[in-house]
Amino acid sequence: MFDFLGRGKHRADKAAADTGPSTMPQAMPLSATKLEMVRMTLHGVLKMNGIPANWIAGEVIPLHIPGQGEALLLQLEIMHWHDALILHAPILQHELLEGLKRFDQQSDSTRYLISWKFSPDCGCPHTQMPAPTFWNEAAAEEDEDDDQGFAATQIHDLRP
């Protein structure tokens, strides 16, 4: 009855059944050239936009993704809180990717994975999540502003 829990199976049977190709990214060595390229690009994007260089730190982790090849994980850490920085993070990320593309025209932006994290000492003034109604109110306000008298876009799946 509880076969799905593996009861009644020997450990050797489980190990043989669980084998398969790994799809987990694997860390690789990082060349000094790639590290410097990312460092210079991030510094340039911050400077060009007037953001103090010590507000965002970065870590570069080279990865090999099975079936897809090499990629660089750029982990950007917010070191100094500023509400506008969070609001503009998507365009900052876009400008960083465009800057990296200028260094290497052959590179594909899908070869860069960007993650954001927040330093515990960044100075974020928010110490608690808002009440659940906060999110519903914000969604309702967005819905009111977005329709502009037009019907909602509908996407139909026409696949057989």
**Phi, psi at residue 62, to the nearest 5°?**
-75, 140
Under the banding of pLDDT at 50, 70 and 90, the label for residue 75 is very high
Cα-based torsion angle of the residue sequence 113, 114, 120, 121 in order, rounded to the nearest 10 degrees:
140
- Which of the listed CATH numbers 3.90.420.10, 3.30.429.10, 3.50.50.60, 3.40.50.720 matches domain 23-122? 3.30.429.10
- How does pLDDT run across 102-133, given as a tens digit for each residue? 887 777 767 889 999 999 999 999 999 999 99
CB distance 80 to 55 below 8 Å: yes
Indicate the pLDDT class of residue 157, thresholds 50, 70 and 90: low
Amino acid letter at 107?
Answer: S
| pTM score | 0.67
Per domain, the residue ranges of the chain are 23-122
